[in-house]
Amino acid sequence: MTSAARPLYLRLRDRIAAAILRGTYREGTMLPSVRALAAEYGANPLTVAKACQQFQRDGLIEVQRGVGLFVARGAAERLRRAEREAFLAAEWPALRERMALLGISLAVLAGEE
């Protein structure tokens, strides 16, 4: 499924996940409010809330009622592991096949050839 064909809340989830992996949103820190995230990503607050609910179900963020949303401890490592597994299962096979068709080796990618 192309990126544009994915539901918006999943694309938002991917952007927030990338921010967690980059350290923009660090573990244990409070995320911006749903409204602030909606403004930042140009999305409807209900769509952002749906993405945050998915994160909560995945154990990546914690909600403290009356306080806000916090990045859960260990979220970056869990995300990295899940994203790595998804890449290897869904993206790498097609990429590997394309590299073989073009005669691109891992050594070429590493700059060794």
Three-state SS for 1-22 is CCHHHCCHHHHHHHHHHHHHHH
What confidence score (pLDDT) does residue 87 get? Answer: 94
Whether the pTM exceeds 0.85: the reply is: no
Tell me the C-alpha distance between 7 and 11, whole Å: 7
**3-state DSSP call for residue 73?**
coil
Taking only the tens place, the pLDDT of each residue in 15-71 is 889 999 999 999 999 999 999 989 988 889 999 888 889 899 999 999 898 899 999
- Residue 2: pLDDT above 60? no
CATH number for the domain spanning 89: value is 1.10.10.10
The total number of structural domains in the chain stands at 1
Q: Which residues contact 37 (CB under 8 A, 6 or more apart)?
A: 12, 16, 31, 43, 48, 52
Residues spanned by the domain of 90: 3-109
